[in-house]
Amino acid sequence: MAISARNQRRLDKKEIRREVIADRSTRRCGECTACCTVLGVEELEKPAYTPCSQICGAGCQVYKNRPTTCRTYSCAWKIGALPDEFFPPRAGFIVDTTNELGAITVREIEPGSASNSFGAKRLVNALAAQSVTVVVRGEHDRTILGPVEKVKAFMKQVDKRMKQQGVVPG
Ligand code: SF4
Ligand code: SF4
C-alpha cells in the first residue's frame, strides 16, 4: 500500500525526533566535573560546594570504585532532558533529575554563577510555573519557588521529614 505524502512527513519527523533523543542519551560529561564539587557525597564525608579530593584533571581517580552517590547521579543535561545550551559549565548550574520529595533542584555551580544569566532565569521561571523548584546557591543558601499550594504541601513534607529525623526546624 502506498504511503501518503502527509504520513511520510509524519514518519520523517518521528525519525528525526528519535535521532535527537538518541544523540542526547549519549551525551558525555567531557570537561565538566561540576557535580563532583557541588554535590555532597556522604560516603566520602564530602560537603556540598567543596571539590572532591578524588578529582584528577577532568576525571575521577577512583572511577571504577566511586561511591554509590556518584554512580547513581546524572544531571538533567546529561540524560538529555535539557537543550545543549544548558551544558553545566556554560550555563553555570546543574539540574537534578531526582528528588525524593518531588521538587526540581537547580544548583548554581558557584554561588551566584547563574543568578544573572537570562537563560537560567528563563529556565527557573518556566520550572517554577509548574513545580516546586529549589534553587541552591551554596551549602546553606536555598530559595523555594513554585505554585503556592504546591510549595505549602512540599514544606509540610519537609517539616514531617525533619521531625522524623529528630531535627527541629527553624
Ligand atoms: S554535572 Fe552533569 S555533565 Fe557535569 S559531570 Fe555531573 S553529570 Fe556530568
Ligand atoms: S569520587 Fe569521583 S565521581 Fe565521586 S565526587 Fe569524587 S571525583 Fe566525583
Confidence band for 134, pLDDT divided at 50, 70 and 90: very high
pTM of the model: 0.80
> How much is the average pLDDT of 98-104?
86
Q: Which atom of ligand 2 is nearest to the CA of 66?
A: 1
- The Cα-based distances of 82 to 123, 132, 139 in angstroms read 10, 18, 24
Report the separation in Å between the CA atom of 32 and the middle of ligand 1, taken as the mean of its atom positions: 6
- The Cα-based distances of 87 to 9, 28, 40, 75, 143 in angstroms read 31, 10, 21, 10, 22
The residue whose CB lies within 8 Å of the most ligand 2 atoms, and thus the one to mutate among 35, 42, 60, 73, is 60
* Sequence ranges of the domains in the chain: 29-73, 79-170
pLDDT digits (tens, 9 = 90+) for 66-80: 999 999 999 999 999
Any idea what the Cα angle at residue 167 is, between residues 161 and 170, rounded to 5°? Answer: 100
Cα–Cα distance, 115 to 113 (Å, whole number):
6
